[in-house]
Copies of this chain bind each other. A is one copy, B any other.
């Protein structure tokens, strides 16, 4: 640990009695015609001295960071964990991906500088505060968010997820279905609601007038459901915009003595490990978050910085039937 000064290319070159440029080429495995004997000597000395390339110097010279940035608003939300793993997998061949958050004590000005200072070759922005991407010189892709101004984004097929949820409920005989939405300023929430309403209309059902507005949080879901119940539950099934709000709704239903799924069926968009461990276990539509992260890196790496990106990742999306949905009560 930091026992001696760092060993540099020059140290290896001196030990192997060659020029630094040759060491550089050999160590990077560049296709260079070099005498086998010399190559061995270089490799040997590098290993003996414990040489490790200075990524900073390399980056400065080559103008490539060898890393992508991924901005996360909130690490407590497991949704991001799956996006991260997809991004890492896709980036593995090209370099690493480093995560930063816009959470506690986030300073926008410092952030723009930090992120745009050449430390990353590109930036994935997943949720969080609306950033002015035009201030940045580094190429970016917005993940799971299609904002009007942002011309480069990858989103999920939110509408289709809602539709799958509705179809499942209709298949169980439900006709009075409400939507427990997310925050209206989140475009994902808007698309999920739109998909929900379209699915009802396509099935010839009325879109209920009652609107449950949550905010994607458990507390918000609980509150929205509680007030809907006070108004008198004119529904037999609920599609929740995400898992946390479904858990909150479940709590409110339980407190009101409403049985799930005997009285009311509940299904959520998105999956989460926890869905399996609540009671009753929560039926969900699992979204391709891993694929979303992977695709975002792919696009970031391959698309010229001045070209727009408008991509929808639709596959695979899977209905995971658990215990919270059942036949409509008569």
Contact = CB atoms under 8 A, between A and B. Distances in A.
A139 B2 CA distance: 7
A75, A100, A248 — which one has the most chain B CB atoms within 10 A of its CB?
Answer: A75
Given A84-B75, A113-B53, A277-B278, A2 B137 contact: yes
Interface string A4-48: 001000000000000000000000000000000000000000000
Interface stretch (A54-62, A163-171, A183-191): A54-62
Given A75-B84, A273-B76, A277-B250, A56 B59 contact: yes
A299 interface: no
B88 A101 contact: yes
B96 A55 contact: no
Interface string A78-106: 10111011001100100111111101111
Interface in A134-148: 134, 136-140
A146 to B, nearest CB: 17
Contacts of A305: 1-2
A104 B92 CA distance: 9
Interface stretch (A114-122, A196-204, A230-238): A114-122
A135 B155 CA distance: 41
Contact of A52 (B58, B82, B99, B113): B113
B277 A218 contact: yes
Interface residues of A toward B: which range?
Answer: 35 or more
Given A52-B117, A60-B56, A88-B105, A247 B277 contact: yes
Interface in A58-82: 58-60, 65-67, 74-76, 78, 80-82
Contact of A105 (B2, B80, B89, B139): B89
A247 B140 CA distance: 39
Given A56-B56, A74-B81, A119 B119 contact: yes
Interface in A269-306: 273-274, 276-279, 305-306
A2 to B, nearest CB: 4
B1 A134 contact: yes
B113 A273 contact: no
B76 A88 contact: no
B76 A138 contact: no
A73 to B, nearest CB: 11
Given A2-B139, A113-B52, A279 B277 contact: no
B273 A218 contact: yes
Nearest to A251: B277
27 contacts: A1-B133, A1-B134, A1-B136, A1-B305, A1-B306, A2-B137, A52-B112, A52-B113, A52-B137, A55-B113, A55-B119, A56-B59, A56-B65, A58-B117, A75-B78, A75-B99, A76-B81, A85-B101, A85-B104, A89-B104, A96-B114, A99-B99, A218-B273, A218-B276, A244-B277, A254-B279, A278-B278
